[in-house]
C-alpha cells in the first residue's frame, strides 16, 4: 500500500515509517511541509502523495500548552483531522487516526475504559482529540481510530529518559502515584498499526502495551532496569506537581476489539521499557 504518514518527524511517525517501509510505500510529511489545519494545504499534500491510506500521527501533543493556546490546539487536532476526513470521503482513501486516553475523564472507573465507552474529556487537549474522533467516525468508508497512552520511544523527551536523567542528577525523586494508565512503546504501537492498517478493519481500537501502572510504578521500573535503587523514588499526589491541564486519575485503555480481529498479543509495558532502555544505553536510538 502507498500510505501517507502525517507527523512523520515525530516519535510515532518515525517508528511507523520504519516499520512500514519494508513491505509498503510510506510517504512522510510533517509541519515543515505544510499545516494540515489549512484545508487547501491538506488537499495539496494528499494530492502530492496520492495515497491509498493515511495514518494520521500529526497532532498537538502539549497537553498543558493546549489550555492557553486553545484555538491553535483545536486547529491542529480537530480541524486538521476534519480536513483529512473530508478528503478521504471524496477520494475513497482509508484513514487511521491516532487518538488518546485523555478523551476519557478517568472519574470513578478504576478498571479503565472499553472502546465503546462515552467520551468525556477533562482537559482541552482531550476535547480536541475527541472532536477529531468525531470527524473520523462520520466517514462512510474505511476508518480506524487507535487510542494510545503514555507513549515513549525515540525522541528528545520521554518519561523513561527523563527519569534516568533525574536519577543521574538527584539523590531522590517524587513521582505522582494517583494517575494510572498504560505505558506504550512507539515501536510496538507501530507494529500494531502494521497489522491493523492492511486489514482495513473499521472501528475503534485501544493500542497500548499490556498492563497498567501509575507514574510512580513506571518510574521505579525504569530505575530497576538501569540498575538504580527504586527506593530513591517516593510516591506523591498530583497536587505536589500542579499542571495547567487536569489529568484523569485512571485512563487505562482496555482492549477487546483488537483481539476480535486477530491481532497478536502485545508485549507487556515492562518488556517494552527494558527493550527501549537497552537501546538507549547502547546508543542506538534517535535523539539519545
pLDDT in tens, 129-167: 999 999 999 999 999 999 999 999 998 899 999 999 999
pLDDT for position 285: 79
Whether 146 is in a domain gets the answer yes
Catalytic residue among 102, 113, 125, 216: 125
Domain range enclosing 94? 2-156+182-210+252-267
Gyration radius of the chain's alpha carbons: 18
Whether 257 is in a domain gets the answer yes
Whether 244 is in a domain gets the answer no
Whether 168 is in a domain gets the answer no
pLDDT for position 108: 66
d(CA 68, CA 271): 37
Length of the chain counted residue by residue: 288
Q: Please give the sequence-ordered ranges of beta strands (E in DSSP) within 140-194, or none if there are none.
A: 143-148, 151-152, 173-176, 180-181, 184-185
185 labelled catalytic: no
The domain tally of the chain equals 1
Whether 241 is in a domain gets the answer no
Under 8 Å between Cβ of 268 and 144: no
d(CA 236, CA 103): 25
d(CA 60, CA 73): 6
Whether 277 is in a domain gets the answer no
pLDDT for position 286: 74
Give the strand pairing for 143-148 and 151-152: unpaired
pLDDT for position 107: 86
pLDDT for position 169: 95
d(CA 97, CA 195): 15
Whether 223 is in a domain gets the answer no
CATH number at residue 58: 3.40.50.720
Whether 38 is in a domain gets the answer yes
Q: pLDDT 10s per residue in the chain (288 long)?
A: 999 999 999 999 999 999 999 999 999 999 999 999 999 999 999 999 999 999 999 999 999 999 999 999 999 999 999 999 999 999 999 999 999 999 999 986 668 999 999 999 999 999 999 999 999 999 999 999 999 999 999 988 999 999 999 999 999 999 999 999 999 999 999 999 999 999 999 999 999 999 999 999 999 999 999 999 999 999 999 999 999 999 999 999 999 999 999 999 999 999 999 999 999 988 877 766
Under 8 Å between Cβ of 17 and 27: no
Amino acid at each position: 500500500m502507498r500510505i501517507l504518514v502525517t507527523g512523520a518527524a515525530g516519535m510515532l511517525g518515525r517508528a511507523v515509517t520504519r516499520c512500514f517501509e519494508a513491505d509498503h510505500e510510506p510517504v512522510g510529511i510533517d509541519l515543515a511541509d505544510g499545516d494540515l489545519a489549512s484545508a487547501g494545504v491538506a488537499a495539496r499534500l494528499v494530492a502530492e502523495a496520492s495515497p491509498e491510506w493515511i495514518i494520521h500521527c500529526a497532532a498537538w501533543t502539549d497537553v498543558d500548552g493546549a489550555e492557553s493556546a486553545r484555538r491553535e490546539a483545536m486547529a491542529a487536532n480537530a480541524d486538521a483531522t476534519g480536513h483529512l476526513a473530508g478528503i478521504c470521503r471524496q477520494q475513497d482513501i482509508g484513514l487511521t487516526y491516532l487518538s488518546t486516553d485523555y478523551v476519557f475523564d478517568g472519574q470513578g472507573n478504576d478498571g479503565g475504559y472499553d472502546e465503546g465507552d462515552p467520551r468525556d474529556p477533562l482537559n482541552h487537549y482531550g476535547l480536541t482529540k475527541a472532536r477529531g474522533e468525531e470527524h473520523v467516525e462520520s466517514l462512510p468508508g474505511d476508518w480506524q481510530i487507535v487510542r494510545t497512552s503514555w507513549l515513549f520511544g525515540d525522541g528528545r523527551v520521554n518519561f523513561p529518559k527523563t527519569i534516568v536523567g533525574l536519577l543521574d542528577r538527584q539523590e531522590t525523586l517524587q513521582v505522582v502515584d494517583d494517575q494510572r494508565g498504560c505505558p506504550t512503546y512507539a515501536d510496538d504501537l507501530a507494529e500494531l498499526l502494521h497489522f491493523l492498517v492492511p486489514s482495513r478493519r473499521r472501528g475503534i481500537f485501544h493500542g497500548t502495551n499490556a498492563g497498567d501502572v501509575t507514574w510512580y510504578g513506571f518510574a521505579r521500573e525504569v530505575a530497576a532496569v538501569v540498575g538504580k535503587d527504586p527506593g530513591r523514588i517516593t510516591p506523591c499526589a498530583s497536587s505536589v506537581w500542579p499542571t495547567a491541564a487536569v489529568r484523569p486519575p485512571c485512563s487505562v485503555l482496555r482492549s477487546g476489539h483488537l483481539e476480535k480481529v486477530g491481532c497478536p498479543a502485545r508485549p507487556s509495558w515492562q518488556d517494552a521499557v527494558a527493550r527501549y532502555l537497552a537501546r538507549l544505553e547502547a546508543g542506538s536510538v534517535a535523539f539519545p
